């Protein structure tokens, strides 16, 4: 059993090495971004849910307008989410310039 655990640890170490290695190889990595900002909106009872839904709405809109590679909120530029109360619900607008990851 100890041998099996050691084998698993060695395998995990190799997997980690191959996952991290490209960051140190000198390959140029960059983002290509759209010049215009695009939006997504949502209305929910809770503020947290409204913000998350607005972000997902933005991501879905980018998938439909461009493709999956442009729909990653975490690498978008000029991101903002603004919310206000509408009655008892929160309405949020997510706004960002979509970017995609490019390896050169």
34, 99 Cβ separation under 8 angstroms = yes
| pLDDT confidence band for 12 (50 / 70 / 90) | very low
Using only C-alpha atoms, the chain has a radius of gyration, in whole angstroms, of 20
pLDDT at 10 over 60: no
| pLDDT confidence band for 2 (50 / 70 / 90) | low
Domain boundaries, the chain: 28-103
Give the architecture (CATH level 2) of 28-103: Roll (3.10)
Distances in whole angstroms, Cα of residue 5 to Cα of each of 8, 13, 16? 5, 12, 16
pLDDT tens-digit profile of 17-68? 334 444 444 455 698 999 999 999 999 999 999 999 999 999 999 999 999 9
pTM score: 0.70
The total number of residues shown for the chain amounts to: 104
């Amino acid at each position: 059993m100890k041998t099996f655990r050691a084998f698993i640890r060695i395998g995990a170490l190799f997997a980690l090495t191959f996952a991290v290695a490209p960051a140190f190889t000198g390959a140029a990595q960059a983002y290509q971004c759209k010049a215009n900002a695009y939006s997504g909106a949502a209305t929910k009872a809770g503020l947290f849910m409204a913000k998350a839904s607005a972000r997902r709405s933005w991501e879905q809109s980018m998938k439909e307008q461009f493709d999956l590679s442009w729909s990653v909120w975490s690498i978008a530029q000029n991101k903002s989410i603004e919310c206000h109360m509408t009655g008892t619900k929160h309405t949020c607008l997510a706004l960002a310039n979509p970017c995609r990851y490019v390896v050169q």
